[in-house]
Structure 1
Amino acid sequence: MSTHLLSRHSHRPRASLSLLTRGAAITPAITLERGRAHEACGPARRSFALWLAASTQGPVLWITPQWQPVTLNPDGMMDFADPARFLFVAAPRREDQLWAIEEALRSGAAPLVVADLEEPPAMTPVRRLHLAAEQGGSLGVAPLALLLTPGSGGAAGIESRWHMSPAHQGRQRIWQLDRLRARTQPPACWRLQQKAPRSGLQLCPAPQADLPSEGPHLRATQQ
């Protein structure tokens, strides 16, 4: 008696995480697939991570190298998300940082795992992160990994790459967001504005002048 090795199943798309406030309709949508590893670069990449954190519920794991000279400033974070939700890990080696990301994703304990890296990782570590994130969602909502990289990024095998930079005008808090690449979506760009603390992002139609700094949520630490 023969058996069928293949069967037809309808494809179920992965759940996604939106960067925008619930109910905001923007086309194309600003979403990141759960259960995958994504990359954010640019001078406001940490702001991008905080916006994602505001779109989730539960703990956020933030992994940095132990020697990094800056840390997140809780007072500045208040405009984006509750600092009490964040768990910080300082890895003594780059290998430890990648290991911590992978294990955190596999556990599924945090819906968002952020890694502040000094350089983009290679293809093999990124593939391991994809697999770990998928395993972490086996019993519930799959976690999402966000790799913060300097410059224009360049992590190999990433699900999507985003570039965020400040474009504030006076007291208006505005950011320029570019989707540089994604597996299932074309490149796109947006101008986004936060009109009040914790109010979420909205589409800003008018271009504004850029400012070089990222924002008040970073502070220098002693070496």
Structure 2
Amino acid sequence: MYEVIEEEGLRIMHIEFPDLSRDKPVIGKGTQLKRTTLGEWVELGENNLIDNCVIGDYNYTGQYCFMQNSDLKKFISIAAQVRIGPTNHPYDRVSQHIFSYNGASYGFEQKDTDFLEKRQQIRTTIGNDVWIGHGAIIQSGLTVGDGAVIGSGAVVTHDVAPYTIVGGVSAKVIKDRFADEIKTDLEQIAWWNWSRQKLEEYYLDFRLPVEEFIKKHLKD
């Protein structure tokens, strides 16, 4: 949602964050869901198209996102115009056009159910606490590890390791977010699996330097 405010004669558009609910997701205008499961504290932006996906707790998306056949874990931040798990056409056949395997709109009623079912089984997995920048594309069948960052406009064609920042076309590693030891410790803490009660109890700890956070919680 957006709020336009007049400030000294200028029209400035501010993002207005909605109040989220544990049990009732916020679904933006024009968003379409098909065969999709939503977790708790979920917000989906306007004009999303989401088919055959599992959307975990605390995930949010921007506008005009398109996701298919994907499993999104928890605490994932997705900017606008992101594409996850785009499906392939049968380019090894005589025709790769949709009419040849799913042509009901053209008056051909005999679906190629075998091809369609196999395509749906190619899952894309997005790990916990991943940040996906504006306009990124993550190809089908890939795994993006926990804590990774996908740069704006990136086209991801290979798996992304945890806590790695990637960008470009096709996406390449830019740098690691943390040293390997810190990555291992954060994966062991797995704070994204904490209960709501524990998240509330230690909420301010998420503002600590990462080394202090690990020192405090690795023993838990």
Range of TM-score over shorter length: under 0.3
More contact order relative to length (CA 8 Å, sep ≥ 6): 1
**Alignment TM-score, normalising by the size of structure 2:** 0.23
TM-score, reference length from structure 1:
0.23
Mark the structure with the bigger radius of gyration: 2
